[in-house]
């Protein structure tokens, strides 16, 4: 079994198994065939395999008649920003975000700088499956423009949109772990411009992942101890392409990635009121924050593509997921951990509050997550079977099954990145959440036994 996951916005798998040069060239050729002639950006994270994928992508884009702007090592949100900034037809970001080092992926970005929406994704797959790609005779040497400092226009734009004076006055000391990913070194520039004292670890951009590049408490232990030792104001942990973020409070508490969205929401929504988009698996904390300001919360399928599509359709102000990926309408419709970090500093500076105090203001929920390995071809049938457990209840089937009972919700869905069924429940009571997950897991295990 070679796990290969196609999602609306890209293709993901283990390098050398599902991810081969030919597959990469075929997908990038489909993308090059789909987007109209003109420049296409290519950025990558720091993974060992990323130059291999990038070479395949560039050859396919050249063969389908595009001019390539090679951004080199570049976080996905910056690549997304540059699409419009450079008037490109689209972009390919080579990164598997939070997946382990053995994985990699192509993420396709449209001319608006957002992940392909479901219609564009469908068109891409149709072209891929049809296998008839545009082929140019290449009578002239096609152009590859190497962009040496792709982050500069982005940083200028970002700083122009922040409330800078309070951030500079606050003279923060922060700890950041970019997990040797695409944002390494670049954070030096960003926080220097913000007048922040930066203590960085895993800041080499060499693709060596000292822990899985997934921002979550179990990977934040180094950040936590450094925050305590250096008496820093906050700690940040990024994924490999700086699209997701998790936090460590000034007392060293490693906060669940579920906190990244609700903790900033109150401050940001006050400045930019509007609907909030999140997915079906994200904590109810955000509902409470939105309710305080009389703003609606719209829940969609899981994944950046679906979230951003809804954000644009609903003219939402804020969109984000419990995985720590956040998009701010005032900035750009893309999961952007660099914007998110800057906004956290702005909030702390303007409100003059410690992060731990802000955490205490949020209602305490308990979220319990579990998963069951299951053959890919049975994923969706098994998920549907779980309906039998909840006869008589109203079931949301937008993405697997989600249902709400008094003081509790549970979400059962097929993973889009691995052959897994995920079971998630949240409640004010740890016990009730755990009981519900256990009940579903026991039922699923009986079915697979």
Give the footprint of other proteins on this chain (CB under 8 A): 14-17, 20-22, 24-26, 29, 47-49, 51-53, 55-56, 58-60, 62-63, 101-104, 133, 135-142, 144
Q: Name which of 56 and 400 has its Cβ closer to other proteins.
A: 56
Q: Name which of 6 and 18 has its Cβ closer to other proteins.
A: 18
Q: b or e along 318-347 (b: 16 or more beta carbons within 10 Å of the residue's beta carbon)?
A: bbbbbbbbbbbbebbbbbbbbbbbbbbbbb
What is the number of other CB atoms lying within 10 angstroms of the CB of residue 14?
A: 17
Taking the complex as a whole, the smallest distance from the CB of residue 37 to other proteins amounts, in Å, to 14
Q: Name which of 135 and 429 has its Cβ closer to other proteins.
A: 135
Taking the complex as a whole, the smallest distance from the CB of residue 61 to other proteins amounts, in Å, to 9
Taking the complex as a whole, the smallest distance from the CB of residue 35 to other proteins amounts, in Å, to 17
Taking the complex as a whole, the smallest distance from the CB of residue 213 to other proteins amounts, in Å, to 13
Q: Tokens 């993405």, residue?
A: 399
Kindly list the distances between the CA atom of residue 125 and the CA atoms of 1, 28, 30, 62, 305, in Å, as whole numbers in the listed order: 21, 11, 8, 20, 15
What is the number of other CB atoms lying within 10 angstroms of the CB of residue 168?
A: 14
Q: Name which of 30 and 290 has its Cβ closer to other proteins.
A: 30
Q: Name which of 102 and 230 has its Cβ closer to other proteins.
A: 102
Angle, vertex CA 432, rays to CA 391 and CA 440, nearest 5: 45
Question: Cβ contacts of residue 120 below 8 Å, gap of 6+?
Answer: 8, 34, 108, 110
Taking the complex as a whole, the smallest distance from the CB of residue 65 to other proteins amounts, in Å, to 9
Q: Name which of 23 and 395 has its Cβ closer to other proteins.
A: 23
Taking the complex as a whole, the smallest distance from the CB of residue 139 to other proteins amounts, in Å, to 6
Taking the complex as a whole, the smallest distance from the CB of residue 208 to other proteins amounts, in Å, to 9
Q: Name which of 16 and 210 has its Cβ closer to other proteins.
A: 16
Q: Name which of 85 and 102 has its Cβ closer to other proteins.
A: 102
Closest CA to 325 of 272, 276, 278: 278
Q: Name which of 51 and 195 has its Cβ closer to other proteins.
A: 51
Q: Phi and psi of 201, rounded to 5°?
A: -125, 160
Taking the complex as a whole, the smallest distance from the CB of residue 120 to other proteins amounts, in Å, to 23
Taking the complex as a whole, the smallest distance from the CB of residue 29 to other proteins amounts, in Å, to 7
Taking the complex as a whole, the smallest distance from the CB of residue 82 to other proteins amounts, in Å, to 21
Taking the complex as a whole, the smallest distance from the CB of residue 19 to other proteins amounts, in Å, to 8
Q: Tokens 């423009």, residue?
A: 145
Q: Name which of 100 and 419 has its Cβ closer to other proteins.
A: 100
Q: Name which of 60 and 355 has its Cβ closer to other proteins.
A: 60
């Amino acid at each position: 079994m070679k796990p290969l996951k196609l999602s609306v916005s890209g293709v993901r798998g283990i390098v050398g198994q599902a991810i081969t040069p030919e597959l990469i060239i075929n997908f990038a050729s489909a993308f090059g065939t789909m987007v109209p002639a003109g420049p296409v950006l290519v950025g990558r994270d720091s993974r060992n395999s990323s130059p291999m994928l990038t070479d395949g992508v560039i050859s396919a884009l050249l063969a389908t008649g595009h001019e390539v702007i090679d951004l080199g090592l570049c976080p996905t949100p910056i690549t997304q920003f540059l699409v419009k900034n450079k008037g490109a037809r689209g972009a390919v970001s080579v990164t598997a975000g939070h997946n382990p080092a053995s994985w990699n992926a192509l993420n396709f970005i449209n001319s608006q700088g957002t992940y392909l929406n479901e219609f564009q994704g469908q068109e891409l797959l149709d072209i891929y499956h049809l296998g008839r790609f545009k082929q140019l005779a290449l009578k002239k040497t096609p152009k590859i423009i190497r962009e040496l400092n792709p982050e500069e226009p982005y940083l200028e734009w970002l700083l122009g949109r922040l409330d800078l004076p309070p951030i500079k006055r606050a003279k923060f000391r922060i700890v950041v772990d970019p997990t040797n990913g695409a944002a390494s070194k670049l954070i030096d520039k960003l926080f220097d411009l913000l007048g922040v004292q930066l203590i960085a670890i895993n800041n080499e951009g060499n693709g060596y992942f000292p822990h899985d590049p997934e921002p979550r408490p179990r990977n934040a232990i180094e950040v936590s101890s450094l925050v305590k030792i250096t008496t820093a104001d906050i700690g940040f942990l990024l994924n490999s392409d700086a699209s997701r973020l998790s936090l460590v409070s000034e007392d060293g508490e490693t906060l669940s990635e579920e906190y990244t969205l609700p903790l900033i929401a109150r401050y940001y929504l006050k400045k930019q009121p509007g609907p909030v988009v999140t997915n079906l698996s994200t904590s109810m904390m955000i509902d409470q924050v939105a309710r305080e300001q009389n703003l609606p919360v719209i829940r969609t399928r899981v994944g950046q593509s679906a979230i951003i599509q809804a954000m644009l359709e609903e003219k939402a102000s804020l969109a984000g997921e419990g995985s720590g990926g956040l998009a701010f309408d005032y900035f750009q419709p893309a999961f952007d951990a660099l914007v998110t970090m800057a906004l956290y500093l702005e909030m702390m500076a303007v409100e003059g509050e410690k992060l731990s105090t802000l955490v205490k203001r949020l209602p305490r929920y308990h979220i319990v997550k579990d998963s069951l390995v299951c053959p890919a071809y049975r994923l969706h049938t098994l998920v549907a079977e779980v309906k039998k457990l909840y006869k008589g209840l109203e079931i949301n089937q937008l993405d697997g099954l989600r249902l709400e009972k008094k003081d509790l919700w549970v979400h059962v869905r097929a993973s889009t990145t691995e052959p897994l069924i995920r079971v998630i429940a949240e409640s004010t009571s740890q016990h009730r959440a755990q009981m519900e997950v256990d009940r579903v897991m026991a039922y699923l295990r009986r079915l697979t036994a």
